[in-house]
Amino acid sequence: MDSYDKELEQKVPDFEEKQDTHSKEISNLNISSAAYSTQIRGWKQTVGIIAVAIFVIGLWELLVRVLNVPDFILPPPSKIIVALVTSFPNIYQHLLFTLAELVSGYLIGAAVGLIMAAVLTQMPFIEKIITPYILILVTTPTIALVPLLMLYWGFGIGPRIFAVALATGPMVMINATTGFRRTDLAKIALAKSYGASTFQIFYKIRFPLALPMINVGLLVGGIFGLITAVGSDMVGGKIGLGNRISYYASLARMSNFFAIILLVALIGISIWIIMTIVGNKTTNWSE
Amino acid sequence: MVKDIIVENVSKTYDSDRGPVEAVKNFSMEVEKGDFVAIVGPSGCGKTTLLWGLTGLHPFTSGKAIILDKIVDKPRQSVGIVFQQANLLPWRNLIQNIYFPLEIMGKNIKEYKSKIQDLIKSVGLDGFENHHPRELSGGMQQRASIIRALSFDPQILLMDEPFGALDAYTRDEMDTLILELWEKTQKTIVFVTHRIEEAVYLANKVYVMTARPGTNSAIFNIDLPRPRPEGITMEMRYFNIVAEIKRKIVEDVEKQKKEGKYKSQAYSTIT
């Protein structure tokens, strides 16, 4: 079981601090490094970010009004807000539906991905055989499978949850795998010198060591899950935020269209914020 | 006297990319209860390999090692280990790091608490219990790791160049500290170092190893008063012993060179 057992028998760990030696691996997408480099520090930065937002939105409003751009091409931000507020009672059920499919698909996918990563990293041979297939799942947009899934299971929430799980799971798994592979032989030797069991080594050493990468996987998985949820809504059925996007676009009701886009963006930002908070709370020791 | 550690003709051969490497060959040693023994030798001579063999983490290829009447075949709770680096877990604060062995062994922390608190105080770490390792200096981290090794009250302490990563001043402080701890706790200590000065200052007995493959070269009984008087490291009798051991090591290396057996450190992957 313990792949490091043999290694430990053969060599004395070098006690060098291992700083992200694995970060070059494919699983570490650019998004993930961005996630941890964009922590806001200081009021100047905050003011700057808000100033840019005000400037862009103001310029948008101004140009659309001065140049008399018709609403069906690009509505001004003010009309988008109005559309969001007035149509919210109608959008509400679509929002809840998409959130339900996102959250359930995410939880299933993340749980399966985490467990698979934890188990497979204990079995290096099987891991090597399975990894290419996981890569296929990561690189193939799962959304492409949704028409097929809907053909099998209809236009309900089931196939969409499945699609979200299929988008989230491999992302969580591949990042968590990188984390679990980050075995610090010196720390494992330490635990072993006290007679630690495989399970103790897992949850007292390997899991905390893997946590930073697991958090990255949970964040990236969440974003991919959102993309897949909205995309699945677009494929079929009459409900969900994605469905509303297609619907309003087909009617050229661009203010409503952008209102939905705004909602989707807010969900994405919430995922980001939640995962950043979770990351800071669970891995405040790293850095 | 009771022999806490008996090592008989142990050898250790590694597999490496360039074929098998003989790190330790037919090394023997005996350590009495409560004794302080140091092992010195040129870089890459297998001192660390020897010590890791004694921990049970890193079995010898041949020979026999007995600790407290039991053959060493796995890590035991009678042995505490201090590594080259403090090797603290960065996600735990100082006191949680010190309790880590007790947690793994499933012991009742309450029973050890007051003894541990005493130790923490004696190394001057009181008040830092809630600090995380990154907030502590290298010397403080290593002190914490020594207390961690003592937390479950093992009879034997194995120390693998524990102060090698520290600066010269901190090292001297730590040497004094470890002697105080030894006098207080009466542990049996095996201390690996490449610094002969340190070995002579600390130990009752210094085992000298040859260059690789590491084997017995000589044993020096250090005839200096206990507890070590202040300023002993600046006295002639201290220097004489240090010089004698150094001479012996240089002699060994010259002899091995003449026989064409000396492998320079450039080949060494394991010290």
Residue A29 has pLDDT above 90, yes or no: no
Per-window interface: B 124-143 vs A, CB < 8 A: 132-134
- Give CA–CA dist B134/A141, Å, rounded: 41
Express each pLDDT in B172-195 by its tens digit: 888 988 998 898 888 999 999 988
Question: Measuring CA to CA, which residue among A102, A99, A137 is closest to residue A116?
Answer: A137
Express each pLDDT in B192-218 by its tens digit: 998 899 999 999 999 998 887 888 888
User: Do B83 and A190 make contact, defined as CB atoms within 8 angstroms?
Assistant: yes
Query: For position B264, what pLDDT does the model report?
Result: 56
Query: For position A6, what pLDDT does the model report?
Result: 66
Query: What are the phi and psi torsion angles at B17 (to 5°)?
Result: -65, -30
- H or E, element range at B151: none
Is there a contact between B215 and B26 (Cβ–Cβ < 8 Å)? yes
Is B3-75+158-164+188-267 a CATH 3.40.50.300 domain?
yes
Residue A78 in contact with partner chain B when CB distance is under 8 A: no
Residues of A in contact with B83 (CB under 8 A): 15, 186, 189-190
Is there a contact between A237 and A194 (Cβ–Cβ < 8 Å)? no
Express each pLDDT in A150-181 by its tens digit: 889 888 888 999 999 999 999 999 999 988 88
Residue A2 in contact with partner chain B when CB distance is under 8 A: no
Percent of chain A clearing pLDDT 70 (strictly above): 85
- The three-state secondary structure class of B68 is coil
Residue B96 in contact with partner chain A when CB distance is under 8 A: no
User: Do B58 and A12 make contact, defined as CB atoms within 8 angstroms?
Assistant: yes
Express each pLDDT in B44-80 by its tens digit: 778 888 888 888 888 888 888 888 888 888 888 889 9
Express each pLDDT in A13-22 by its tens digit: 666 554 444 4
- Give CA–CA dist B89/B64, Å, rounded: 33
Can you give the residue ranges of every domain in chain B? 3-75+158-164+188-267, 79-153
- Give CA–CA dist B201/B245, Å, rounded: 13
